[in-house]
Structure 1
Amino acid sequence: MKTVRIAGVPEHFNLPWHFCIENGEFDEVDIDLQWTDVPEGTGKMCQMLREGTTDIAVILTEGIIRDIAAGNESTIVQIYVQSPLIWGIHVDAKSGYQQLSDIENKKVAISRIGSGSHLMAVVNAKNQNWNTELQFEIVNTIDGAVEALSNGAADYFMWERFMTKPLVDNGTFRRIDDCPTPWPCFVIAVRNEFLKTNKHVVEQILEIINNTTIEFKDIPSIDRTLATKYNQKLSDIQEWLKLTRWSQKKLDKQTFDKVQNQLFDLNLIADKRDYESAVK
């Protein structure tokens, strides 16, 4: 049995992995796939890949491309979710901020440097023609963001819209706008050292997860399963399922270049990497 460590966020996008693990599909091909939930998100997973504490990460596209450009010895082997991530822009419900223009030049809560919440805050600032030299408050997790926004340590926080919706519904946050990623949101990245000696194992893992994601939306009552597991309203999950498209394809050069060029233009990376060295 080959032990493989994989990391991802504890969000509805990743339920297909848990189904495959629980159904013993990896066990059947002698792979012990050990999943770690990483609520801190992409910045933390980049660190785990660098330190060798995970072999594979299901990770935000812009985050891993930025970290590979900064020297992370990992490779993107596939797109996992083709559709954009819809980043909700949230403020404390008791604050006076009502629209996007109210938070210009305000402090943004981010899980960590290099995370999606960091990179997309800069992308959003560019989209609004704001100064992209932002002020950050590092909060690690969504719970940390709730605390930072309520005590005034930060003014706004960007996180996946549907996962944050319960906090909007219960009056903790107010969502003032959305900022979708202009590219596929999640990719699967593998440490180069692991990929070099375990290419066949990685191919088997991709084949199993791809067979599940192709049929995921057709699973009976999948909307109810997701709503219960992730504390979501059924109507919200049904909307999310309509918007979400999983992928079984390789990241193409055009998309890679688009992401990397945007990061470079925003001074989020100093050097560019060749597509061939970052994507296999």
Structure 2
Amino acid sequence: MKTIKIGGVPEHFNLAWYLTLKNGEYKEEGINLRWKDYFGGTGAMNKALREEEIDIAVILTEGIIKDIIDGNPSKIVQTFVQSPLIWGIHVANDSKYNTIDQLRGTKAAISRYGSGSHLMAYINAENNEWNLDEDMNFQVIKNLDGAVEGLTNGDADYFMWEKFTTKPIVDDGVFRRIGNCPTPWPCFVIAVREAFLDTNLEDVKTILNIINNTTQEFKQIPSIDKTIANRYDQKLEDVQEWLSLTEWSQSLIDETSINTIQDKLLNLDIIPKKVDYDQLVRQIN
């Protein structure tokens, strides 16, 4: 049986992977798929792909595009979640800040440089017409636990993370959410190391077929809202809202979306140049 290593964030978006693993669907096809949670998010997964710690990543679209342009030898093979990611903009519950504009020039907590929390801080800044050279300051906090500690201790002033993942922390009175910032593109893609893809193409196709069969019918799974609420410590009404907003995909991200993301990243000086569509993606089906 062939062992294949995959990574993703330990969030409700990836429950379909857990369900297919629990059901033994990959083992039935001769694949020992080993999932690893990356609490550090996109930056940690980019590092893991580069160091061959994992073969496949379920990763933020803008984060993997930036890292491939920066030399990560991987390719996007499919969109995983078609809908935008809604980033909540959070401050400590006792923070003096109450509006997004008051955060101009303060310090953003980020999991690491090149992560989604880092890139989206720039998107938020541009949306609010901040000066990207003067108004952006960062404190690396590694993960969500680090953000709780960093904002509570005053090491950083605000933190951007997926709205529904952080909702329990808001409900507990640790964070306050003072705004939202949706990504203007599909939020999660599946990326594979090029060297692995070259030698294991059929296995990658098999894995995608299995996960796609589940995501196509994910919302119809009996009591899936209750399962998510229990597993991720979320309120049922929050899960139901999230399910209504989330659309999975079984297709490769299109060239228009890739260009839109690159235009935005280039405009923000996050990438040094745009590259051709086929330098970022590989059509395998």
Aligned partners of 1:70 and 1:271 also within 8 Å: no
Distance in 2 (alpha carbons) for counterparts of 1:136 and 1:152: 13
What are the Cα deviations for residues 72-114 of structure 1, in whole angstroms up to 9, with x where unaligned? 0000000000000000000001011111111111100000011
The residue that corresponds to 2:143 in the other structure is 141
RMSD of the alignment, in Å? 0.6
Q: CA deviation at 1:124?
A: 0.5
Q: TM-score when scaled to structure 1?
A: 0.99
State the distance in 1 between where 2:39 and 2:24 align.
25
Partners of 2:131 and 2:55 lie apart in 1 by 37
Q: State the SS of the aligned residue for 2:233.
A: coil
Residue 203 (structure 1) aligns with: 205
Q: Please show how residues 22-41 of structure 1 align to structure 2 within 5 Å.
A: 22-41=22-41
1:60-71 counterparts in 2 under 5 A?
60-71=60-71
How far apart are the structure 2 equivalents of 1:31 and 1:37? 19
Other-structure match for 2:58: 58
Q: 1:194 aligns with which of 196, 215, 226?
A: 196
The superposition leaves residues 23-82 of structure 1 with CA deviations (integer Å, 9 ceiling, x where unpaired) of: 011011101000000010000000000011000000000000000010100000000000
Q: Does 1:239 align with 2:236?
A: no
Equivalent residue number for residue 174 of structure 2: 172
Amino acid at match of 1:196: D
- Residue-pair matches, total: 280
Q: Distance in 1 between matches of 2:132 and 2:246?
A: 29
Q: How far 1:278 moved relative to its partner?
A: 1.2
* Counterpart-to-counterpart distance in 1, 2:146 and 2:17: 27
Distance in structure 2 (CA, Å) of the matches to 1:18 and 1:5: 14
Amino acid at match of 1:152: G
TM-fit CA distance, 1:272: 2.1
Deviation of 1:153 after TM superposition, in Å, equals 0.8
Cα distance in 2 for residues equivalent to 1:44 and 1:137: 16
Q: Secondary structure of the equivalent of 1:45?
A: helix
Give runs of ≥4 in structure 1 deviating > 3 Å: none
Q: Indicate the SS of the match to 2:251.
A: coil
| Aligned pairs for 1:1-280 within 5 A | 1-133=1-133, 134-280=136-282
Counterparts of 2:105 and 2:271, CA distance in 1: 22
AA paired with 1:243? L
Cα distance in 2, alignment partners of residues 68 and 257 from structure 1: 14
Q: CA deviation at 1:216?
A: 0.5
Which range moves more in the overlay, 208-217 or 128-137?
128-137
Taking the aligned partners of 1:192 and 1:205, their CA distance within structure 2 comes to 16
Give ranges in structure 2 of 5+ residues lacking alignment.
none
Deviations 1:11-32 (A, max 9, x none): 0000000100110110111010
How much does 1:271 deviate?
2.4
In structure 1, give the amino acid aligned to 2:239.
Answer: I
Taking the aligned partners of 1:261 and 1:238, their CA distance within structure 2 comes to 34
* 3-state secondary structure, aligned to 1:24: coil
For 2:277, the aligned partner's letter is Y
